[in-house]
């Protein structure tokens, strides 16, 4: 019998710690599949975030270095400048990239660092227990916005892709989601494109992935997937925000 589905080589044979219904495990797998398919595993260096996905280094079988919270794009900049031929990507959450690390991300993008950012947007701080994130939706209840986020006081959610699209040296920006098989396929394609852009040194690439966090959303996995389609996507429309010629 022909084997049609197996564990990617770049994914270690361990069980993950992620909660049921969490998007990280899907995203990790997509990355691993792509590194296998593009034969990039032995050229890749990843900078995982502070947050739930910090333990990505136990799952992805590639060179990894931890960054202080928010500094992944600065660390990735240092690595890429020393090894311009390697594939260097950071993996960051919404608090990491759009709050504490906004400055580093914005300026790495503006310099056009030849790196890829995998930006996982689940609208909350996951690891610390579901506090309000810069991408928390208006009215969304979190442990630090118990009455719902009030845009007049806390500001509206930040749209990272739209923000970065204004910068000249960004080359590929796409927002995708991992809440359905069709969307997961599109996510894989977006990641593939981002890696290809990096390979061709077109500039800074970022893929924003809307990802469910059932535990902190106080929903079950199915409700979470539905919530992305019905609520989240309205604030964070899916699609390619920017693509330069590759």
Partner 1 sequence: MNKQLMYGTHAIGEAAIQAGCTCYFGYPITPQNELPEYMSRRLTEVPGGVFIQAESELASINMVLGASVAGARAMTSSSSPGISLKQEGISFLAGMELPAVIVNIVRGGPGLGNIAPAQSDYFQATRGGGHGDYRIVVLAPASVQELADMTFAAFDLADEYRVPVMVMGDGMLGQLMEPVVMPVRKKKKLPEKDYILTGAKRRPARLVKSLILDTKAMEDHNWKLMRKYRRIEQNETRWESFLLDDAEMVVIAYGTAARIARGAINRLRREDESIRVGLIRPITLWPFPTDVLKKASQKIKDFFVFEMSAGQMVEDVRLALDGSGTIHFYGRPGGVVPTPAELARSIARHYYQSQRKQKK
Count of alpha carbons within 13 Å of 146, Cβ hemisphere only?
1
- Cβ proximity to partner 1: between 89 and 236 the closer is 89
Alpha-helix residue ranges (DSSP H) falling in 83-180: 94-95, 102-111, 151-154, 160-165
Using CB under 8 A as the binding rule, whether residue 37 contacts partner 1 is answered as no
Q: Give the bridge partners for 125, in sequence order.
A: 131
User: Which of 16, 19, 38, 64 lies at the binding interface for partner 1 (CB under 8 A)?
Assistant: 64
CB of 35 to partner 1, least distance (A): 10
CB of 82 to partner 1, least distance (A): 4
Identify which of 69, 62, 58, 68 has the alpha carbon closest to the alpha carbon of residue 95. 69
- Compute φ and ψ for 117, nearest 5 degrees: -110, 125
Using CB under 8 A as the binding rule, whether residue 199 contacts partner 1 is answered as no
Using CB under 8 A as the binding rule, whether residue 34 contacts partner 1 is answered as no
Report residue 148 as tokens. 């719902």
Cα–Cα distance for residue pair 177/122, rounded to 1 Å: 10
Using CB under 8 A as the binding rule, whether residue 209 contacts partner 1 is answered as no
Using CB under 8 A as the binding rule, whether residue 96 contacts partner 1 is answered as no
Which residues bind to partner 1, rule: CB under 8 A? 41-45, 47, 54, 57, 60-68, 71, 74-83, 86-87, 103-104, 106-107, 111
């Amino acid at each position: 019998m022909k084997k049609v589905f197996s564990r990617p080589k770049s994914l270690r044979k361990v069980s993950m710690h992620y909660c049921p219904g969490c998007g990280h495990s899907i995203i990790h797998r997509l990355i691993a599949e792509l590194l296998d398919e593009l034969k990039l595993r032995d050229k890749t260096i990843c900078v995982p975030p502070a947050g739930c996905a910090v333990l990505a280094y136990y799952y992805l079988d590639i060179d990894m270095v931890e960054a202080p919270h928010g500094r992944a794009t600065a660390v990735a900049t240092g690595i890429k400048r020393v090894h311009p031929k390697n594939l260097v990507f950071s993996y960051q959450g919404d608090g990491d990239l759009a709050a504490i690390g906004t400055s580093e991300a914005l300026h790495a993008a503006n310099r056009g660092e030849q790196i890829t950012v995998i930006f996982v947007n689940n609208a909350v701080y996951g690891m610390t227990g579901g506090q309000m994130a810069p991408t928390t939706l208006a009215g969304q209840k979190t442990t630090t916005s118990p009455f719902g986020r009030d845009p007049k006081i806390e500001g509206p959610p930040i749209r990272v892709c739209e923000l970065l699209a204004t910068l000249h040296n960004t080359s590929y920006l796409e927002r995708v989601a991992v809440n359905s098989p069709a969307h997961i396929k599109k996510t894989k394609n977006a990641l593939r494109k981002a890696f290809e852009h990096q390979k061709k040194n077109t500039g800074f690439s970022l893929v924003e992935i809307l990802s469910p966090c059932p535990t902190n959303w106080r929903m079950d996995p199915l409700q979470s997937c539905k919530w992305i389609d019905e609520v989240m996507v309205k604030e964070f429309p899916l699609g390619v925000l920017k693509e330069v010629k590759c």
